[in-house]
């Protein structure tokens, strides 16, 4: 059960996924489902239309892609360790599985718990991504993996905020 291992932050599962080229489709499915869970879960903030749900899901997916790209660039080019050997597929698979806690964003649909659910899952996904990056980039330092992830996460959040402000639904 890779999903359980991923949400449990089991480094062995992330190593397994890193090595399994056949897990790419699984990782993509997790990312898409996590993004859809964000859109549906955001309904708890107020009756959002289908268009708004799709918009939020799309922004979540774009933010994940931005985070993945920035994490790859920072981790492989700016902050590699001597033993770092990175393959884009390996990194995408591991951080795709690190999106597993995002599936819980669906519970944000319940009014009153949306913000806590989204906050908790965001932190959980960040921690899972630190584990994933440490494994995929062959880091010996969790601190280095955390720095890479926090930098990438910050930039991805900024992108999501800008997209939301420029193109997002207006409060009614």
pLDDT tens digit sequence for 64-93:
988 898 999 999 998 989 888 888 999 999
Rounded mean pLDDT of 155-168?
80
Burial 88-98 (b: 16+ CB within 10 A, else e): eebbbbbbbbb
Number of H helices, E strands in the chain: 7, 0
- Per-residue pLDDT at 96 exceeds 90: yes
pLDDT(4) > 60: yes
Say yes or no to pLDDT of 171 above 70.
Answer: no
pLDDT of residue 172 exceeding 60: no
Classified as helix, coil or strand, 171 is coil
Question: Rounded distance, CA 91 to CA 136, Å?
Answer: 5
Stretch 100-118: mean pLDDT? 94
CA distance 157 to 67: 8
Q: Give the pTM.
A: 0.88
Cα-trace Rg, the chain = 16
Q: How confident is the model at residue 45 (pLDDT cuts 50, 70, 90)?
A: confident
- Residue 132 near residue 2 (C-beta atoms within 8 A): no
User: pLDDT value at position 15?
Assistant: 94
Tokens of 156: 């991805």
């Amino acid at each position: 059960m890779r999903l359980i291992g991923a949400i449990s932050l089991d480094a062995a599962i992330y190593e397994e996924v890193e090595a399994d080229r056949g897990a790419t489709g699984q990782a993509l499915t997790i990312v898409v489902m996590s993004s859809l869970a964000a859109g549906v879960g955001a309904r708890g903030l107020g009756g959002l239309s289908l268009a708004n749900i799709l918009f939020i899901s799309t922004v979540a997916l774009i933010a994940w892609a931005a985070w993945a790209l920035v994490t790859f660039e920072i981790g492989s080019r700016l902050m590699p360790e001597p033993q770092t050997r990175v393959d884009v597929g390996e990194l995408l698979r591991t951080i795709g599985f690190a999106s597993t806690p995002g599936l819980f964003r669906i519970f944000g649909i319940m009014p009153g718990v949306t913000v806590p659910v989204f906050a908790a899952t965001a932190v959980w996904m960040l921690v899972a991504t630190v584990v994933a990056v440490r494994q995929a980039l062959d880091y010996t330092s969790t601190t280095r993996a955390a720095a890479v992830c926090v930098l990438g996460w910050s930039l991805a959040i900024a992108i999501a905020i800008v997209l939301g402000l420029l193109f997002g639904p207006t409060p009614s």
